[in-house]
Amino acid sequence: MSDNPLVIDHIFKSFATRETLNDICLSVNENEIFGFIGLNGAGKTTLIKIIIDLLDADSGQVKIFGQDHKNPKSRTNICYLPEKFQPSTHLTGIDFLKLNL
């Protein structure tokens, strides 16, 4: 297992003729808090979707605790709350969290 919970190595992503991510490299160390900030359209959501395998990168590699991010087991300790989240009106917050465990 890697010492780094997240390693992003040379990620590229384009949509049609627009280059969204260009050679993104970073690693998040154990016990480190990391956040993405930037203007709308900077590629934050695109990178997050690549990390959790909701979107394919054009090239590059993502590892979560030393495992390829496409391996579902690599994401067992990760949760994703999309920007347009609409929870069920029939579930309490605790019920929703239990549903996703």
Task: Give yes or no for residue 47 having a pLDDT over 90.
Answer: yes
pLDDT (tens digit per residue) in 10-21: 999 999 888 999
Task: Look up the CATH number of domain 6-76.
Answer: 3.40.50.300
Tokens linked to 83: 């920007």
Tokens linked to 66: 């030393």
pLDDT (tens digit per residue) in 63-98: 999 999 999 998 888 877 777 777 778 888 788 777
Please state, in angstroms and as integers, the Cα–Cα distance from residue 70 to each residue in 13, 31, 64, following that order.
16, 23, 9
Whether this model's pTM surpasses 0.75: yes
Task: Give yes or no for residue 99 having a pLDDT over 60.
Answer: yes
